[in-house]
A = this chain, B = another copy of it.
Amino acid sequence: MGDRVASVSAVAIRHAKPSDYGRVIGLVNVWWGGREMAPMLPKLFFIHFEGTSFVAETADGDLVGFVCGFLSQTADDEAYIHFVGIDPEARGSGLGRALYERFFEEVRADGRSVVRCVTSPANERSVAFHESLGFEVERVVPDYDGPGEDRVLLVKRLS
């Protein structure tokens, strides 16, 4: 953890805006080590789901994390988290937890009692992080998101 994000208390979380997208996608590619992540995170999430998407900024205005989610259109008691990104220098600061909790609060207010998301089975750190937030592993599904794209299905009941 770098000095720049000494603690989550120095970070402000607010709703994402469409104008945040360019900055977010530029950083996401860096945070993922140069992988081209834009296809997974088109701008539409910042336009049509801004009410359930959040960004985290330092007092200096540096973007250090975000979460993009939405209310399920099919299941009216469910919400879904599609994408979460945390500045590698901010990992371990509690920022991921704070972003998820902000999301939980928002969707609970919208009458949702279940939150779902998926992650890669190879990403044990992600599975452990979700379990620490109260998610349970429902199952692991081979080829869930296309050929070779196995996924762990995670679910959390909001209390």
Chain A residues near B (Cβ < 8 Å): 22, 25-26, 29, 36-44, 47-52, 70-75, 78, 80, 82, 118, 143-147, 149
Contact = CB atoms under 8 A, between A and B. Distances in A.
List the number of copies, as a whole number. Answer: 2
A125 B44 CA distance: 22
28 contacts: A25-B145, A25-B146, A25-B147, A26-B146, A26-B147, A29-B147, A37-B146, A38-B145, A38-B146, A38-B149, A39-B39, A39-B40, A40-B40, A42-B82, A42-B146, A43-B145, A44-B80, A47-B72, A48-B72, A48-B73, A48-B74, A48-B75, A48-B78, A48-B80, A49-B73, A51-B74, A52-B73, A71-B73
A38 B75 contact: no
Contact of A47 (B41, B74, B149): B74
Pick the most buried of A48, A50, A80: most chain B CB atoms within 10 A of its CB: A48
Contacts of A78: 48
